[in-house]
Structure 1
Amino acid sequence: MRGWKALVAKDWKLIFRNRLLLAILVIYPFLIMGVIGAAFYDVGRPVPIGLVNLDRAGPGEQAWSGAVVPSPRGLERRFRRRAVQVEEYGSGEEAEAALAADRVSALLATGDPGETELWMGADLSRDEIAATILDVQTETEVWREYSTAQEALASFAQGEVNVVFAIREGDYPYIGETIWLEDENYDAASLVLRFGQDVTEIEEYTSESEARDDLKRGRIDAVIVLPRAFVHQLKTLDEIARVQVIIDQSNLVKAEFAETSIRGFLSRVQEGVVENKTQAVVAGLYVLVTGGDFFGTEVVGLEQIRENLESLKQSLQDRPDLQEMVDVGIDLANTVISDIEDAAAYLRGTALPIDLEISSVAGRPLSAKDAVVPSLIALSILWTGVLSGAILMVIEDEEGMRIRLGLTEMGSFALVGSKLILATAVVFVQSAVMLLLAVAVFGVFASNAAAALLVIAAASFSCIGIGLVIAAFARQVAGAVILSVLVSFPLIFMTGAVFPLSQMPAFMQWIARAIPLTYAIEALSGVMLRGESLADVAWQLGVLIAFGVVLLTLGSLLVRRRTD
């Protein structure tokens, strides 16, 4: 037993004599706990959301819509029949100019892919405009609303829709209405701002394309597009308001946060609207029971009918056969009354006036494997790059090559630079193979694989520089490996690879911006999942290259100081 005590005492002293071992066993766990705790500290902060409100009538604004219908020519014929005089145009731009100049009140364009586009305009009344919109919506398989004429023209030119309809916003049926909820009157925008203020930070945009651009840049986490006549659809008993929500699925955690927050506050709106709708319907149903005004018609209530039948039954005591017939009527009245009460309760629980249409900023749904691959490649670059940069430098020390090279004209910059070139090539090839395998074998979505390879090269260059700096503090390969692991592991939690940056505290976001891996993940996600070009990620590429240059210079200075 005495021997065991001596060995434990020896090992305890060994830990305190070895600073690296002391740091790993005692200090490092608290450091990791602090990093992870800081990243998740502000988890309840509001989610940044962009709002595009089409349910407002601005002076001089135009309302553009598109649809996919089986028979565009049929709509064209009905449009011509309603119009007194029809103007035809050679292009969408010419038609837009006619609408802007108030020469016509409505535009219609038809044309399937491969066919000649036909643009026409006419001066229609509001009733005729409403009838034309109803024609399109009745036949459509796809209905889209646009915030600008440019968005509509681009969608039509790309064949996304085969019918485009445009009018002045002020002529759009039921646009810009308000609704009374919780003792206040709201229009579409104020309704979302009021009920979303606790869980979201909402920024309003005038166009969907502008909001999409900010979504791609990571400034917001989702975009809500409120359709025209949104409030009217909320108030109408037999209509459902369809709200388009665009999210960035390149980060699954951020996408889940955004969708959950939006569904949460819209459910509060829905509850209020359901209450308003059901109060009107339930009141009408109970009029059938009690009697009174039933949506403009005076009716005798079922309760009164039941009482009359029971009185009739009492007067027919000497006619049992007729009493049995009256009992059937009383039972029927009781059944109908009970069914009406059940129907009212069912209506309260099932009325759903809002339907969310979730889409991805990438233009197609992304799976979990699509979303995770950019982060996995970036983490592989970090891990392999830091290790290879540090190990190559330390091996040279162990074999005495640095001393021998010091006798030549090769300076410390060339010494470090050669390792950087070799390690960058190794990491680039490894990561490029991972990308190609993910796309070719596992079917991972990559909208711009060529741009992704350039991002991988820049990321490899910057992350290897971290390893070159670490090498200046290690004497042996084992020490270089340990230091590389100690440095790399906390970076995983600080760069948005695990938890979205938008949900981190402000100071953690500033720290994340000082780590090259953050820009690598953003750039890879952009070119692979969000359809961005090299020009769109030029800022991230520039930062990665700048990090590589700075770390190469710092590594050279540290090597020279250590050699001296």
Structure 2
Amino acid sequence: PIFMMVMTGYIFPSGTSLKNIALGVVENDKGEISQNIVTVLENMKLGDKNDSIFLLERQPGNLEGAKQELKKGNLNAILIIPKDFSSDIEESRQGILTLIIDQSNPQISSILTGMMEKIVDGLASNVAVGKLAEMMTKQLSTGKTLPFGSTIQSSPGSSPNPQALIKPFVIKTEGLVPGEQNYFQFMAPGIIAMVVVMAVMIGLAASISREKELGTLDGILVAPISRLCIILGKALSQTTRGLLQGSIVLLLSIFLFGVKIYGSIPLVVLLLFLGVFSFIGLGILISAIAAEQETAMMIMMTLTFPMIFLSGVFFPVEQMPGFMQIISRILPLTYAIEALRKVIILGAGISSLGRELTILVTFGTITLGIAVPAFKRIITR
């Protein structure tokens, strides 16, 4: 209970805001108003601190490239400034900015959407006041006043949109993929990865340590097969069990809670397998160290319980304080969950998962390279 209280207290700190938001800006307009908006976003700071709220990445006219960066996780959102945005506002036509959000992280996207709406409303109000002041100045300089009930003409033969005078520009929000995303859509990939990985780790440690405790492992070791084959057999059986459990959770998520898979199902299976691969070595190492099943379970729970909270299963990693984010980036489960979210929610392909795949394979190879020789040496004693 104390651990959970501390974790939730840090994950939901009071009085904090998002900072260093990676915002891609697709500039299709080079007018003065567009450039002013970009400049304001670049110079926004968080409270009394010198932390930037936005880290802008300008991508003039390259919307598809920005979308790929969003799928890879290099951007948190994309702001699109349409063509002729500044000229439309100058001619009293309402301009429309578009914000494309990362639906794999609905909590952060919701906060970001609210922030952008407030910022754009404030900027639009300033532009509206400036335009009205300019119009009044022109009227006073010419000595003419408008009769009651007349309309202001932006150009001969045309009348401006009254809404554009009050709100010269607005922002609308779109998702990278169609449809509304809910919190369970965000949580489902994390639960699936957690179930598979934890089932394999705990099952592997429990089965080997139990056989050590009962003495049946000695009988297996004298069989005419290598110790490597024994380890592989144990690992494969637990992997199969974990993947079956993950498949059940995935099917329940689809049929009971309406979770949609926008990406490739074979790629989902591959990611689950790599998630298991990255943790098998750790399970083998713990089972080799522990003298009995109870010790193995205690070590395993000590490792897995914090991992559930720190890997982003239930809460976005970006919402955690800095030191927790550093810890979460060490855990391979974090990358397995992020990769699954990209595939299931954003429909990302394997080309967008380079970082996650590399980390999972590297971590699994290193831990197996340590665990297998250590297991052989400890068992031989």
The alignment's TM-score, normalised by the length of structure 2, stands at: 0.80
Work out whether 1:381 is the aligned partner of 2:381.
no
| 8 A contact 2:285–2:374 mirrored in 1 | yes
Shift of 1:31: 10
Q: SS of the counterpart of 1:472?
A: helix
| 8 A contact 2:205–2:296 mirrored in 1 | yes
Shift of 1:392: 1.3
5+ residue gaps, structure 1, are 1-24, 57-175, 180-185, 285-291, 303-335, 337-346
Q: 1:53 to 1:510 in 2, by over 3 A?
A: same
Which residue of the other structure, out of 15, 20, 23, is the alignment partner of 1:46? Answer: 20
The aligned counterpart of 2:257 is: 442
Aligned length: 359
Q: C-alpha separation between the residues in 2 aligned to 1:278 and 1:203? A: 33
| 8 A contact 2:10–2:320 mirrored in 1 | no
The aligned counterpart of 1:537 is: 353
- Bigger relative contact order, structure 1 or 2, given CA contacts below 8 A and separation 6+? 2
**For each residue in 1:354-389, what CA deviation from the matched residue of structure 2 results, as whole angstroms up to 9, or x when unmatched?**
322211122443233322211111122233222112
- In the alignment, residue 306 of structure 2 is paired with which amino acid? P
Shift of 1:178: 4.4
Shift of 1:487: 0.7
Q: C-alpha separation between the residues in 1 aligned to 2:5 and 2:146? A: 75
Larger CA deviation: 187-196 vs 271-280: 187-196
Which residue of the other structure, out of 77, 82, 85, is the alignment partner of 1:230? Answer: 85
The aligned counterpart of 2:49 is: none
Q: SS of the counterpart of 1:220?
A: coil
**For each residue in 1:233-263, what CA deviation from the matched residue of structure 2 results, as whole angstroms up to 9, or x when unmatched?**
44454x3221111111111222123223322
The aligned counterpart of 1:250 is: 104
Q: SS of the counterpart of 1:202?
A: strand
Shift of 1:506: 6.0
Q: SS of the counterpart of 2:250?
A: helix
Q: C-alpha separation between the residues in 2 aligned to 1:269 and 1:255? A: 21
Q: C-alpha separation between the residues in 1 aligned to 2:110 and 2:280? A: 33
5+ residue gaps, structure 2, are 47-51, 150-161
The aligned counterpart of 2:155 is: none
The aligned counterpart of 1:298 is: 144
The aligned counterpart of 1:199 is: 53
Which residue of the other structure, out of 233, 238, 242, is the alignment partner of 1:427? Answer: 242
- In the alignment, residue 365 of structure 1 is paired with which amino acid? E
Matches within 5 A, 1:232-381: 232-237=87-92, 239-279=93-133, 283=136, 293=139, 298-299=144-145, 351-381=166-196
Q: C-alpha separation between the residues in 2 aligned to 1:230 and 1:262? A: 17
**For each residue in 1:309-363, what CA deviation from the matched residue of structure 2 results, as whole angstroms up to 9, or x when unmatched?**
xxxxxxxxxxxxxxxxxxxxxxxxxxx9xxxxxxxxxx99x93333222111224
**For each residue in 1:525-554, what CA deviation from the matched residue of structure 2 results, as whole angstroms up to 9, or x when unmatched?**
121111112343354334323333333333
Work out whether 1:494 is the aligned partner of 2:310.
yes
The aligned counterpart of 1:219 is: 74
Q: SS of the counterpart of 1:382?
A: helix
Q: C-alpha separation between the residues in 2 aligned to 1:264 and 1:498? A: 27
Which residue of the other structure, out of 523, 547, 553, is the alignment partner of 2:363? Answer: 547
| 8 A contact 1:389–1:419 mirrored in 2 | yes
Shift of 1:461: 2.6
Work out whether 1:417 is the aligned partner of 2:228.
no
| 8 A contact 1:455–1:524 mirrored in 2 | yes
**For each residue in 1:12-58, what CA deviation from the matched residue of structure 2 results, as whole angstroms up to 9, or x when unmatched?**
xxxxxxxxxxxxx9xxx5698479749979864331211111112xx
Q: C-alpha separation between the residues in 2 aligned to 1:489 and 1:353? A: 51
Q: C-alpha separation between the residues in 2 aligned to 1:295 and 1:240? A: 27
Which has the larger Rg? 1
Q: C-alpha separation between the residues in 1 aligned to 2:244 and 2:33? A: 59
| 8 A contact 1:177–1:232 mirrored in 2 | no
- Higher normalized strand content (fraction of residues): 1
Q: C-alpha separation between the residues in 2 aligned to 1:423 and 1:32? A: 33
| 8 A contact 1:416–1:552 mirrored in 2 | no
**For each residue in 1:403-459, what CA deviation from the matched residue of structure 2 results, as whole angstroms up to 9, or x when unmatched?**
223334544433322221111000001101221332244331102223212212221
| 8 A contact 2:68–2:352 mirrored in 1 | no
Q: SS of the counterpart of 1:298?
A: coil
CA RMSD of aligned residues (A): 3.5
| 8 A contact 1:234–1:273 mirrored in 2 | no
Identity value in percent = 23
The alignment's TM-score, normalised by the length of structure 1, stands at: 0.56
